[in-house]
Structure 1
Amino acid sequence: MASVGLNEREQAGCRQLLEFLETQELMALTDTVTNRLVHPENRQEAIHAILVYSQSVEELLRRRKVYREIIFKYLAAQGIPVPPSSEKQLLIDRVKQYWSEQLGTRTVESEGRKPHAEVSAAF
C-alpha cells in the first residue's frame, strides 16, 4: 500500500522524536492531527495515528505542539550537533537532511541537480 504521507525512514524518525513528548502533549497532538476523530488508548496508538494522518514531515514538525526543544533533544540524541539557539525551522531542516542522508537520497539528488558537474581529467 503506497503511503501519501511519510516514508519508512521519516516514520521511524518521527516515532523516535514523538517519544520525547509527554503523554498529555502526545494526545493533544493526536487531536490536532486527526481533527479529534481518533481517540487513542495509549502512547503507541497516539503515535501511530499521528504518523498515519500526517501529510509530511514538514507539516508535522511545524506544528506548535512539536516544540523546538523536542526537535533539539531528538537531534542531540542522534549525535547531531546544532547550536542551542537555533530557530525551529533550522532544526526541522536539519532533521529532514539527516533522514534523507539515512536513505542515501541526498547524494543522488545533489549530483542529479548540478547543472555543470565537475569533470576531473585523469590525463
Structure 2
Amino acid sequence: MSGLSETERIGALKILGTMKKSDLLSLCETVTNKMIAVENVTEATETILSFTKNAEEFLKRKKVHRDLIFKYLAQEGVVMPPDSEKHQLVRRTLELWSSVNAVGGRSLQAEVDEPRLSESTDTKDVEGFDPLVLGQQFCQWFFQLLNSQNPSLGQPAQDWGPQHFWPDVKLCLLSRAGTEQKEEFVGAEVVSLRFLAMTKEERLLFNPNLEPRGLKALTSSHGLVRVAVAGTIHRGAACLGIFEQIFGLIRSPLENNSWKIKVVHLKILGQDALGGTEVAAPALSYNSSELQLLCS
C-alpha cells in the first residue's frame, strides 16, 4: 500500500505525467520487482504510486530524472539554480510537500476560510490561528501564481488579476541595481499590472526562501497580518539578485472572508548592490518593529 500523503501523491502524479512511456513502464517493473504486469500508462502510473513506500524513495529512483524534478519545481513556482544537483532538487521537493502537509494539504482558499475571525476581527482571539502557517501558505500561493505568468516557464498562466487586492492597495517598490529607484502605485488594477509586467514582460522569476530565516509573520489587534519574505530573483539561468517583500493582508467579509492584499513593500537588490554576497538563501533584514511600521 502506498505510503504517500495526498500532497505527495499529487506531486508524484505530475512528475510521472512528464515521463517517457518507456521510462514509466521500466519504473513500474522496478517498483513491483516485475511481479505485476500492466497494459497501459494509466495502470503503470497507479501501480507505481500504490507500491511506493515514501516520497523520498520515489524521487531518488533512477528513472525519475533530475530534469523532471527541476521542471516540476518550476511549475510549482519554486525556482532552483539551473546547475542544481538531483539531491538538492529532491530535498527541495520534499520540503515543498512537507510544508503543504503541515497545513493539511489545503489550498490557500481553504486555509484562509478556516478559522474565521471573530466579529471584532482580532486575530489574537482566534484559537489555533498561526500567522506563520498562513504566511508560508500565502507565499507559496502568491509566488506560484505570479511566476506562472512568466512565458519562459512554458506553463499555463494561472488566474492573476486585481481580484487578489483591496481596491485601495498600495505598492511601494524600491530597486537598487546600479542606481536606486523608488516607485509607488495605488489601486488594485495598477498594482496588479505592475506585478504582471515584472514576470510577463521583464520575465523575472521570484524564488522565496520559506525557511525560518527568510519568513516572518505578525498579527495586529485590528485583523491585519503582516507577512515578510526574502528570496532570490532570476531571469532564465541568471540570478539577478535578491528581494524582500512585505505584505499586509486583511480578510474580506464580502468574499467568503478570504485574505486580500492591502499593502505591499518590495525591495529588490541587484548583484551590484550586493557586492558579491552569497544569495542562495537570503535572510530577512527587517525586524518585527520595522514590519509593524511599514504596514501600519
- Distance (Å, rounded) in 2 between the aligned partners of 1:66 and 1:4: 17
Matches within 5 A, 1:72-111: 72-104=70-102
Q: Which runs of 5+ in 2 are unaligned?
A: 104-131, 134-210, 213-287, 289-296
Give secondary structure in 2 for the equivalent of 1:55.
coil
Equivalent residue, structure 2, for 1:10: 8
Structure number with the higher strand fraction is 2
How big is the shift at 1:104? 2.6
Higher relative contact order (CA 8 A, sep 6+): 1
Structure number with the higher helix fraction is 1
Larger Rg: 2
Matches within 5 A, 1:33-112: 33-104=31-102
- Distance (Å, rounded) in 2 between the aligned partners of 1:76 and 1:87: 15
Equivalent residue, structure 1, for 2:26: 28
Give the aligned length: 108
How big is the shift at 1:4? 5.7
Give secondary structure in 2 for the equivalent of 1:29.
helix
How big is the shift at 1:44? 1.4
Contact 2:7 2:100 in 1 (8 A): yes
* 1:98 aligned partner, one-letter code: L
How big is the shift at 1:70? 0.7
* 1:56 aligned partner, one-letter code: N
% identical equivalent positions: 40
- Distance (Å, rounded) in 2 between the aligned partners of 1:4 and 1:25: 20
Contact 2:2 2:49 in 1 (8 A): no
Instruction: Compute the TM-score of the two structures, normalised by the length of structure 2.
Output: 0.34
Instruction: Compute the TM-score of the two structures, normalised by the length of structure 1.
Output: 0.79
- Distance (Å, rounded) in 2 between the aligned partners of 1:71 and 1:80: 11
